């Protein structure tokens, strides 16, 4: 876009805001040469960082032109109202919102924001996008100057050479003081299942890692991307300034014109040292009555909740084996037709699907009550929805697993295990260790 079109867009945005009597979003973008998104992020101001990579799009953002934060049982309707106000009325490109919702509804770690500067990489190329909220009465010349200033900040890293995030990781030590509490909670869960109070509950275990220097998030993300090329790679800065990042194999849902897709993932097994051993373990996973039962609970739960939202879910006939670098899972894709995607459907799905039986349990409320009573640590965004949505009815939210919080030189890692009647504590502990290995490798922790 030329400078004249920026001026014209600014004038149109100011006029529209006056006509509507409310703020609107001006999204101005320019096509740029390919650039490594993590290198771009590394050189940007460290303000409300966001990074997201899925198969068909990479989004990298900094700053926030508008934001929402809330909690309680009204968090999804509140977020929906903010999103409608932010992306329904706009001038220029389609605006994009990003954010996450805490696992527990009473947490304050629920937020959405409009990134001020966004690097958007798709099959059509790479674009820099500046997103500004325009208030009624703002001057078009001042608005154009503000957008040009933000575009200049966004363009600054494009000429920077090198990728400093590929350096060596700092030395570190692991603290596993939560292991005793984890074992006690597992025994309580098995007792509740034996009494018939629960069918399944997913317990979260934590590890702390302390480094000799502050963590560089782009270094951790780069290692995750190399190790898990087919996972959803993400980084979000929480309202309290912590960085939450990970490599999730599990989409809560993806909305696009025509289709809605969800991932049912439950049931785990280690990888083998060679092809023969790996296949033997995969066969054992697929034929395990305990793992198939745990997986079937998740598939049925997702299908039931999609039905309550008015969809006709179409799950795969039989589970597949999903092979990741450090672990393999039972996996069933679930699809539903979506003739006219809408913003309202995004938040209806978030409220209905979260938490799935893969990260919460069954029955849902009884499992959540158990976790609230006995889990020693607030999960925050772990096992909760993180992702993005836009004003055109597209959205992708991941389940925030295989993840960690980074704060300075400290990392807090999370891993979960589904406890059912046939669970053995030693097996569930080994499963969490397998899941921890993804983030431990990314942090450079020897294993």
Q: Which residues are catalytic?
A: 200, 250
Distance CA 440, CA 1 (A): 44
Instruction: State in Å, rounded, how far the first CA of the chain is from the last one.
Output: 51
Asked whether 79 and 68 are in contact (CB, 8 A), the reply is yes
For residue 334, what are the CA distances in angstroms to 211, 261, 319, 353?
40, 6, 11, 13
Beta-carbon contacts of residue 407 (< 8 Å; ≥ 6 apart):
241, 242, 243
Scored b (16 or more CB within 10 A) or e, 116-149 reads bbbbbbeeeebebbbbbbbeeebebeebbebbee
Distance CA 264, CA 301 (A): 9
Distance CA 377, CA 438 (A): 21
Number of other residues whose CB lies within 10 A of the CB of residue 229 = 12
């Amino acid at each position: 876009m030329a400078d004249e079109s920026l001026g014209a867009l600014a004038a149109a945005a100011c006029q529209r805001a006056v006509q509507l009597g409310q703020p609107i979003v001006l999204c101005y973008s320019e096509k740029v040469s390919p650039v490594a998104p993590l290198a771009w992020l590394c050189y940007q101001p460290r303000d409300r960082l966001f990074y997201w990579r899925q198969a068909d799009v990479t989004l990298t953002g900094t700053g926030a032109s508008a934001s929402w934060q809330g909690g309680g049982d009204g968090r999804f309707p509140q977020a929906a109202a903010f999103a409608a106000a932010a992306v329904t009325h706009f001038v220029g490109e389609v605006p994009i919102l990003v954010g996450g919702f805490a696992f527990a509804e009473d947490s304050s770690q629920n937020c959405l924001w409009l990134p001020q500067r966004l690097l958007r990489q798709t099959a059509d190329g790479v674009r820099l996008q500046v997103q500004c909220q325009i208030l009624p009465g703002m001057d078009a010349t001042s608005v154009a100057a503000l957008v040009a200033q933000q575009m200049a900040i966004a363009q600054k890293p494009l000429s920077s050479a090198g990728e400093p995030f590929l350096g060596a990781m700092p030395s570190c030590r692991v603290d596993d003081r939560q292991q005793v509490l984890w074992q006690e909670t597992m025994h309580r869960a098995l007792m509740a299942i034996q009494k018939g109070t629960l069918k399944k509950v997913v317990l979260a275990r934590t590890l702390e890692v302390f480094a000799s220097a502050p963590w560089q998030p782009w270094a951790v993300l780069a290692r995750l991307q190399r190790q898990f090329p087919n996972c959803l790679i993400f980084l979000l800065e929480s309202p309290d300034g912590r960085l939450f990042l990970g490599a999730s194999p599990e989409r809560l849902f993806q909305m696009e014109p025509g289709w809605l897709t969800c991932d049912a993932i439950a049931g785990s097994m280690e990888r083998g040292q060679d092809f023969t051993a790996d296949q033997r373990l995969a066969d054992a996973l697929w034929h395990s009555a305990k793992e198939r039962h745990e997986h079937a609970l998740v598939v049925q739960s997702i299908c039931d909740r999609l039905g309550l939202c008015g969809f006709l879910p179409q799950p795969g006939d039989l589970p597949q084996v999903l092979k990741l670098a450090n672990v393999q899972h039972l996996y069933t894709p679930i699809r539903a037709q979506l003739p006219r995607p809408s913003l309202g459907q995004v938040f209806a799905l978030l409220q209905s699907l979260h938490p799935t039986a893969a990260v919460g349990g069954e029955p849902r409320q009884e499992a959540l009550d158990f976790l609230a009573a006995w889990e020693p640590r607030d999960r925050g965004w772990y096992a909760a929805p993180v992702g993005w949505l836009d004003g055109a009815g597209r959205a992708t939210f991941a389940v925030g697993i295989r993840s960690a919080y980074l704060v300075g030189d400290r990392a807090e890692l999370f891993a979960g295990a589904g406890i059912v009647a046939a669970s053995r504590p030693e097996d569930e502990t080994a499963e969490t260790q397998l899941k921890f290995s993804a983030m431990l490798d990314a942090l450079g922790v020897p294993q």
